[in-house]
């Protein structure tokens, strides 16, 4: 059941009216918990059992941490919860990767084994809800929050269906503050939420799947010999594709939550208008960036122990970020590249950061384009299925393509991609100074209706089948 499916439309058409008609706040929360379990269980009932185990165990562990009278007991329950969460994530997401890696390394010294197929199916959204459970346990252990004694409320935090599968990554304190008092469903919130839902589906179905995916699929095909132009076109197209795909999902999630009276944190705020990679990571997958900062980078020591140690902490954090995204070496390389970009940017700013020329608008525009180019170079290692293919595309991007390298045929699909790329970057620049959806209330109702109608029509008329949301694989 995905946001862009007919099944979800039926699901929402049943759950939302029932939620509105209920007058009891406890009844509404019970309904949301039950609906969220149905939503997640529709993928695979076993996934729901696994999520239920994680939820109940972490809720119980948090109670024990809070009630403990000795630091030793607190630490034991803390590590029991952390190890349990990471063990489940490690087994389901990384066991096959480590098994295959061991076989490859043994082969280097002449030891040959038949590849192991563990037959593991990755539970949907396990990377996201594991991070949420870890943040809850850490915050309880650090005494930043008081654990809830209500299992239903903690269960709703873990399972709330708009953000369950692909985020945004929530903090219990932020979500629980909304569940302690009844949510109000207003006509304005429902209208805005519906607009955001349609906007998110438009980004996904039209932008990601119909405009940008065709070009990236061509360029990143293993047998395609990309030239300079084709390689950069493929990189730019996938940058926009993954943005439209994931930002579209996040926007839809925020819209659905808003319809029910809940506020989820924004996950994207015009990232491709960023001046520098550091700024980009404050605008791209914001909930993950904040999580990595608070639960990895800061505990490692930030820059408090000197520049060199700070640079190392950056590299560790973003290499881990890459590995979180996928159990493959090319994801690790992608994360390490972003770490290297951030370190290089920090060194440059420390050296010539007070150069007044940086403030000139034309220079900032050029720096924004350079930032997008660096992001697109790195994203090659995110998109390509192997490091070898990613390296081949990197060589082409820097003018070292094979003599028989192919170029793109300038057909209708490619021209649509070029126009959409220019328009997309221009829209990002327009959105940058506008916080979230603050611009929408200023838009006159006739324009809102017209925009909503155009997006809806484009979704309905979109040809072909849509792809799965990219971040569902993580």
Q: Cα separation of 119 and 160, whole Å?
A: 29
Nearest CA to 200 out of 264, 154, 294, 106 is that of 264
Q: Cα separation of 327 and 97, whole Å?
A: 6
328: left (phi over 0), alpha (psi -120 to 50) or beta: beta
HSE at residue 88, side-chain half, CA atoms within 13 A, is 26
Q: Which CA distances in Å does 155 have to 11, 129, 271?
A: 20, 11, 32
HSE at residue 75, side-chain half, CA atoms within 13 A, is 3
C-beta neighbour count of 17 within 10 angstroms: 10
In the residue annotation, 263 being an active-site residue is answered as: no
Backbone angles phi, psi at 312, to 5 degrees: -65, -40
Q: Cα separation of 474 and 471, whole Å?
A: 5
> Which residue of the set 285, 325, 330, 338 is catalytic?
325
| Alpha helices, H only, 68-119 | 71-89, 95-108
Contacts of 227 (CB under 8 A, 6+ apart): 396, 401, 405, 406, 407
Contacts of 282 (CB under 8 A, 6+ apart): 274, 289
In sign, the C-alpha dihedral spanning 356, 360, 364, 370 is negative
HSE at residue 401, side-chain half, CA atoms within 13 A, is 19
Q: Cα separation of 236 and 339, whole Å?
A: 20
Contacts of 256 (CB under 8 A, 6+ apart): 3, 12, 161, 162, 193, 197
Q: Catalytic residues, which ones?
A: 325
């Amino acid at each position: 059941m995905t946001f862009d499916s007919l099944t979800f439309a039926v699901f929402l058409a049943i759950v939302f009216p029932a939620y509105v008609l209920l007058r009891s706040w406890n009844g509404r929360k019970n309904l949301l918990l039950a609906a969220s379990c149905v939503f997640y269980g529709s993928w695979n009932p076993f996934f729901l059992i696994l999520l239920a185990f994680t939820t109940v165990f972490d809720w119980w562990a948090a109670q024990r941490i809070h009630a403990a009278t000795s630091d030793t007991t607190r630490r034991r329950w803390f590590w029991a919860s952390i190890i349990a969460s990471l063990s489940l994530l490690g087994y389901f997401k990384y066991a096959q990767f480590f098994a295959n890696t061991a076989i490859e390394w043994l082969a280097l010294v002449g030891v040959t084994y038949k590849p192991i197929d563990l037959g593991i199916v990755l539970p949907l959204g396990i990377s996201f809800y594991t991070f949420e459970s870890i943040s809850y346990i850490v915050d309880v252990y650090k005494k930043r929050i008081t654990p809830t004694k209500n299992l239903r409320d903690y269960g709703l935090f873990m399972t709330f269906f708009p953000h369950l599968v692909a985020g945004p990554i929530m903090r219990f304190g932020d979500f629980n503050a909304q569940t302690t008092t009844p949510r109000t469903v207003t006509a304005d919130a429902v209208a805005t939420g519906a607009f955001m839902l349609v906007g998110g589906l438009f980004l996904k179905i039209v932008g990601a799947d119909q405009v940008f995916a065709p070009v990236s699929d061509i360029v990143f095909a293993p047998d395609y010999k990309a030239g300079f132009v084709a390689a950069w076109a493929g990189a730019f197209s996938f940058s926009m594709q993954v943005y439209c795909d994931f930002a579209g999902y996040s926007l839809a999630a925020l819209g659905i939550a808003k319809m029910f009276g809940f506020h989820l944190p924004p996950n994207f705020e015009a990232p491709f208008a960023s001046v520098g990679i550091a700024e980009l990571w404050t605008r791209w997958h914001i909930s993950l960036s904040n999580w990595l900062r608070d639960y990895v980078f800061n505990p490692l020591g930030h820059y408090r122990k000197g520049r060199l140690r700070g640079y190392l902490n950056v590299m560790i954090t973003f290499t881990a970020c890459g590995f979180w995204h996928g159990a493959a070496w090319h994801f690790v390389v992608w994360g390490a590249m972003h770490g290297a970009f951030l370190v290089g940017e920090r060194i440059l700013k420390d050296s010539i950061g007070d150069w007044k020329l940086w403030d000139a608008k034309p220079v900032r525009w050029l720096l924004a384009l350079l930032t997008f180019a660096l992001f697109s170079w790195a994203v090659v290692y995110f998109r390509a299925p192997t490091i070898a293919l990613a390296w081949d595309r990197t060589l082409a991007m820097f003018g070292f393509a094979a003599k028989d390298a192919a170029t793109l045929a300038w057909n209708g699909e490619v021209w649509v991609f070029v126009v959409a790329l220019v328009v997309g970057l221009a829209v990002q620049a327009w959105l940058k100074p506008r916080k979230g959806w603050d611009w929408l209330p200023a838009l006159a109702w006739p324009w809102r209706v017209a925009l909503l109608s155009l997006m809806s029509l484009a979704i309905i008329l979109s040809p072909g089948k849509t792809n799965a949301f990219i971040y569902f694989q993580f």
